[in-house]
A = this chain, B = another copy of it.
Amino acid sequence: MASTDVKVIGAAPSPFVNRVQIALNLKSVDYEFLEEKMGSKSELLLKSNPVHKKIPVMIHGGKPICESLIIVQYIDEAWTDGPSILPSDPYARAMARFWAAYVDDKFYPTFRAFGSAEGEEAKAVAREQLMEAIMLLEDAFAKCGKGKDFFGGDTIGYLDIAIGCFLGWMRAVEKMSDIKLIDETKTPGLFGWAKRFGSNAAVKDVLPKTETLVEIAKMMAAKAKAQ
């Protein structure tokens, strides 16, 4: 679908930006990607998201929409002729929204805390909290996916996008540390899901390569140390 009136202000390594890209791909909506430079904010970004001044912002027909999960819901509601992103059943929708909010409010801060923890004790605590958060997502996969391929059932949906956008960074963290965040024994549900999600046509060119993210993480750590 040619939609030259869709612009995404973002940065390729951002999982939150990746959510928007995946949702647009699922709906086969073309868009122009406006890359924000790291460490600076464009005038268009500041004008489009004056409240939070954060990426991603999607501009559709000149109107800006902010906050990744809100953008994904907007995409689902604005392009109704593509495959549905949210489930149709109200209870399933509520569950998808609940776990997506969990990802942003609990999983993501825990994931960040693990990445920045220093010292053996702090690292061990952060690691345990992160593994607890992941085990809850493993449970959520069983509850929401009900034995199917995705959190959304047979196809990729809202919750798949909300969690799946972190797969690249999770792999980068696995590569830089000695722990497996998702593996066949502890998290068999997520293990199979991650493979299917990552290789999906709407996803595979969006999720950044592990090596790229490892480089970025090292660069950011060095920068943080220098400050």
Contacts and interface: CB of A to CB of B under 8 A. Distances in A.
A174 B56 CA distance: 37
A74 B90 contact: yes
B97 A73 contact: yes
A63 interface: yes
A189 to B, nearest CB: 17
Interface string A134-173: 0010000000000000000000000000000000000000
Interface in A100-154: 101-102, 106, 136
Q: How many chain copies does the complex carry?
A: 2
Contacts of A77: 90, 93
B67 A91 contact: no
A101 B63 contact: no
A91 B73 contact: no
A25 to B, nearest CB: 19
A51 B136 contact: yes
